[in-house]
Structure 1
Amino acid sequence: MSRPTGNTRLKAARVAAGYNSQQALADAFTRTAPQLGIRGLAVGVRQVRRWESAAPPWPQPDVRRVLTNLLGQSMEELGFAPPWGPEGSQAETTRRGPSVAPLTNHRLAAVPAQSVAVIQPTSIARDFEAVTRSHRHLYWSVAPATLHPAVLEHARLGCALLPETANPGRRTLAAALAESYLLAGRIEFFDLRQPDQASDTLLRALQAAGEADDPLLGSAILAHTAFIPGWAGEHEAAVEGMVAARTYARRGPASAEFWAWLDAVEAECETRCGNTRTALHLIDHAEDTLATGSEHATPAWMDWFSPARLAAFKGNTQLKAGHLPQARATLVQVLEALPPKSDKQRTVVFGDLAAVEAAGSRPEEACGYAFQALDQLAITWYATGMDRVREVRRTLTPWQNEQCVRDLDDRLYDWGTTVSALQR
């Protein structure tokens, strides 16, 4: 199969796995081969360039073993065609009609490349896009465990439709598919706290964005991917992810809001890695960027960011930096500015305000904010918000015999909250 722009699947998988250059993948390949018991096997940039060409050669068995181990996908999913033809390959199976794996196994459909046969009407892309848009709106109120399976099934449908759709509808459908996988990855990471699964899902999103040739979607996906090592305190991997995200953003008409959000993401990663001074500098830059503005519009799918949410990032960083009065003032203003649909963000702000009061040796005020967070979590579950409450409870250990802390424990470990947390 010809690929005028090269093997975009392998390129997307390489970048999503943290190898931002062909040299980085070649070096990782050479390091990994001995770990798999394969001696004397090494590749250079020239070989990686051939793999990412429009007609990549089918590698030898040991090479295939190392590649699939590094990138976590089959050779067909990485854009390679076996020399015996497509029969029996996953790509052909996808075109004939993929078998849908049970959702309990959390298996993801591969993002297919263009097929020769085009049988879908021109309206199919807009119809699929409309459902994707509805899922985007439902995210803010529907329970994540309820919405997540529907989003994944919709993405599987998109994978089945993509080879049967011609341009320009194909690019529209691929962009909507990328957005669906991005939403699924966001739910997995922020709502369900499943970072490993989110990493796999975001890789699918990046593949779809590559099929759509949408650099802004690619940038947003890569920035979300950077959250995963950033929250784990893996600074180097987070920085590499953000370099890739900013590179993609420069290729598209990024708005001031989009650039500010990238600053905010990097600031949160820096905060999680203990670099609060760098984080505050990034937030200051984001505020300046928003104040300056730009002629470009923010994509409709980017509905998770606003000046109020930038301020929420700032309040959390001020808290971690020990600037308690500033953090308190910032977070109180955020509560007043958040729109009604921001219930998930509101639980995080309540949790941060509770942490501010606990750090200031004000246990009653801290418990009061923690109670408000739990009240909101009972309406709209958000694992990130619950994490904030648990962090606050750990800091309240010096006052654990106080009645307010005992009352918080009774609420935090009542039947409903405990079962709900364990289910998720």
Structure 2
Amino acid sequence: MNLRGCAAKILAHVISDGQSLTAALDNHLGKIHNPQDRAFVQAACYGVIRHYFTLDHELNQLLGKPLKQKDGDIKALLLIGLYQLQYMRVKPHAAVSETVAATKHKPWAKSLVNAILRNYLRAAETLQTACQSSPEARLNHPDWLIRQVEQCWPDQANAILNANDQAPPMALRVNRLQGSRDDYLATLNQHGIGAQTVNFCDSALILDQPLSVEQLPGFREGRVSVQDVAAQLAAELLDVQPGQSVLDLCAAPGGKTAAILERQPELKSLLAIDVDDKRLQRVTDNLQRLRLKAEILAADASQDWAGDRRFDRILLDAPCSGFGVIRRHPDIKLLRRDSDIATLQTLQAKILDAAWRLLAPGGILLYATCSILKQENEQQIGQFLKNHADAMELPIAAAWGQARPHGRQILTGSWQMDGFYYAKIGKRL
């Protein structure tokens, strides 16, 4: 199997067909049995997507005229070749020859791929300099997204865009029902795995180097989960007490559901809902591994689905642009559209209103997104508070993020966290 050819098929599904990188990888990686080969393909795919706008600009200069739409696999193969030459520790002659070898299904492309990659080696410095004249290529984001970030965060925009292009750290959430964080840290150290604690999150560890979950001691037994530190903050902010009923809206894949149960095992009930049946299976799988139990229901959070049920605590992890997690899901830069933002705002407001009706008087609703856009976050909450006289914002005093007119914002990469937003709202008695 030619690994570059396999990676090109995966990338063509993303670049040409609009499929998510996660789904495309899931559909193909199972056919590769060697772990090192799988790692190479995954690294190549993530790398090309992460640096897509820079690589695409260079490729367009080298091609002169675009390839036909039906040759999306050849374009993907060329991008892989450029990525290897620019970012990977692959010897240039090997990168060129192996990439050329992947054109066997389209013999006409052999000479083209060979010429393009060799021309890049001769003109690399000139091509990279030319990228500076294009904001998309220089900042490696689509123009419309650059404008959105600059509008929301003019002083931090470059830092945010740069953070989006970095590989994220691997953070763990220790299941404190099975032992303390310090105990698990000691276990990691015994296995030669380095990690650091996080002083503002008592469940979190950040690994010195990412590794596969199979290498984490006790992972299968539920001692630990992989979850960004920003997402772990939800369980503490929700302030769940013994005997309370909790609703987790838009819960899949279940990381926050599990974190709530790990922090407070003496609940009256916890109901996790999501609109997607398939994604709910991941919630079930995660809870089973962690030896936790919750009620799970497929339902549309924007609709009236609960009858007369009311909840003491509600976590709404709202559907959003995902612009705070681009470093984990770089395909967001390719797949998301400017027009999506207004649609998402409307959906967020609808779900907020529906969730509010389910909150018992005296209860707390925690609104969360993995976005950095103000219109999805502080502006959304500001409008909600204007529309609901029985709602009062509760302060979030924290050593992380920055206080906003409403809620608290984490910008991508700060405190080693993903971009995230939280607002805490209480319902008057």
Structure with the bigger percentage of strand: 2
Which structure is richer in relative contact order (CA contacts within 8 A, separation 6 or more)?
Answer: 2
Q: TM-score w.r.t. structure 2 length?
A: 0.31
Q: TM-score w.r.t. structure 1 length?
A: 0.31
